[in-house]
Structure 1
Amino acid sequence: MDEREPGETDRLQQLVESIAAKIFNGTYAPGQKLRQETLAEEYDVSRTPVREALRQLEIKGLVVQQRRYGATVLAPTTKDIGANYWLRGELEGMATELAARWISDADLHRLQIVHAECVASVRALHETVNAAGGAPCPTAAEPMRHWVVKNQAFHALIYSACGNASLERSIRDLHLDYTRNILNMTVLGMHESRMRKNIEHHAAIVEALVARDALASRDAMRTHIQASGAFVVDWLEKRPAPRRSRTGRRF
């Protein structure tokens, strides 16, 4: 039983997510040792939450800990990431099939609203990026964040409507612990046709759910997640390797 206060639990989760993000983006390189005292100083916390964060990251498969040696980064390979998306596709497909049977009319209406907001956020993101004419575009951060939030809300509505708490929990853990940081990293790499395809997938999912077609709902979601995984793996494989300074640090 977790006896931590709610605020303490939130801070710990933020610490876990921040360390995980740096593992995913290469700041903490595979094989790098993560010292508790260094992390405590970097995040301005005591060693106790760092110790717990490393324990959770080990459970997630992002670090390995050995007695008298400490924690070492185990960054996932593209094969690991592809396998993760495959599993997400199967689980979210199953949840969408169940949601077709159990989702309420009110939640269907909310899903249609969120889908429309996703479409609007994609349009705003591309208008911002296109206006920059290929130059670095710091103003894209806000529409990008808005799209990520709405995309997460779209999926969350569906698997919360599946009527299976264990399945919902498994999907949330799998998505939040593994792919959210990757999604944040790759979203600006999505060219316009890829974003349009993402919206088309969402529209197909909504259409199948409105029709209460369980099998079509499952297939539409599985197709969507697997296509997203293929894009992410391709993006990561083509991404230039981080450069190293003379001290060995990546930048």
Structure 2
Amino acid sequence: MESYSVEKPMPYYDQLYHAIKKMIFDGIYKPGDRIVESRLAKEMNVSRSPIREAIRALEKEGLVIIDDKSRIIVYKPTVKDVEDIYQCRMALEALAVRVAVQKATDEELKQIEETLRLTKSKIEQPHGYDKDEVIRLNEQYHHLIIRFSRNDRLQKQLNDLRSLMFLYRIMNFQGEARDWTIYNQHAEIYEYMKQRNEEEASSAMIRHLTADYQHLIQVLGHSGGPL
């Protein structure tokens, strides 16, 4: 009977959640922008009820804030937020790569290598490339390392930050040669993983995330964000 199964359509609130989230990631809704439920419901041709459900899910992920006047505001990163999240990432991802070095199979390491190969091939496209695809591959690189740690608790803590981390990745891509800088740092981490050198892999991960953090602070300052 499996071939006759019917896939249920995605509920409205779920579709709206993904649509609004993409608008935030694509910069259609910018940090600090206000989202008006009634206007969005009219634009999307839906009732306000699924909009509210979608907004609640986005608020839980930290992508929107409900202020003291019940206005819906797109999350605007502060230096304190960035510092807090990167401190968490450094502690958790340095541990993740250390444990992944111990536990990942050779085949799993090849999956990380393949992600790097695909990233490099995208960046080297002679007529430009899809930046969104490279950002997605960068996320996949980190996700594989976290997954191969086989630490469910660690994965859950990082998953709770996943949406904000992805938003930061988009912002972190601003600047000259950021694609190659990030790729080269990822490649260095992987080389130590391949050597099964957990100490150096962990140190390289911390260096990479520290560099990301410092660059993101500069981006926030350059774009007029709070310092």
- Of 7, 14, 18, 2:18 maps to 14
Q: 1:115 deviation in Å?
A: 1.1
Find the counterpart in structure 1 of residue 144 from structure 2.
Answer: 157
The alignment status of 1:184 with 2:170, answered yes or no, reads yes
Find the counterpart in structure 1 of residue 121 from structure 2.
Answer: 120
The alignment status of 1:225 with 2:209, answered yes or no, reads yes
Find the counterpart in structure 2 of residue 174 from structure 1.
Answer: 161
Q: 1:231 deviation in Å?
A: 1.2
Gap change, CA 1:149 and 1:232, over 3 Å in 2: same
Find the counterpart in structure 2 of residue 98 from structure 1.
Answer: 99
What does residue range 204-215 of structure 1 map to in structure 2 within 5 Å?
204-215=188-199
The alignment status of 1:49 with 2:56, answered yes or no, reads no
Q: Contact conserved, 1:82 with 1:230, CA < 8 A, in 2?
A: no
> Deviations for 1:32-74, whole angstroms, at most 9, x for unmatched residues?
65432122223333222211222223333431255xx433425
Q: Residue 7 of structure 1: SS of its match in structure 2?
A: coil
Letter in 1 for 2:98: E
Q: Contact conserved, 2:61 with 2:161, CA < 8 A, in 1?
A: no
Whole-angstrom distance in 2 between the partners of 1:105 and 1:86: 30
Per chain length, whose mean CA-contact separation is higher, i.e. which structure has more relative contact order (CA < 8 Å, sep 6+)? 1
Gap change, CA 1:159 and 1:13, over 3 Å in 2: farther
Letter in 2 for 1:178: L
Whole-angstrom distance in 2 between the partners of 1:86 and 1:36: 34
Q: 1:103 deviation in Å?
A: 0.6
Whole-angstrom distance in 1 between the partners of 2:183 and 2:31: 34
Q: Contact conserved, 2:86 with 2:213, CA < 8 A, in 1?
A: yes
Q: What percent of counterpart residues are identical?
A: 23
Q: Contact conserved, 2:16 with 2:54, CA < 8 A, in 1?
A: yes
Give unmatched runs, 5+ long, in structure 2.
1-7
Find the counterpart in structure 1 of residue 185 from structure 2.
Answer: 201
Gap change, CA 1:102 and 1:29, over 3 Å in 2: closer
Whole-angstrom distance in 1 between the partners of 2:35 and 2:122: 38
Instruction: Give the TM-score normalised by structure 2.
Output: 0.80
Q: Residue 70 of structure 1: SS of its match in structure 2?
A: coil
Residue-pair matches, total: 215
The alignment status of 1:234 with 2:224, answered yes or no, reads no
Instruction: Give the TM-score normalised by structure 1.
Output: 0.73
Cα root mean square deviation, aligned: 2.7
Q: 1:96 deviation in Å?
A: 0.9
> Deviations for 1:195-235, whole angstroms, at most 9, x for unmatched residues?
33322211121112112222222221122122112212212
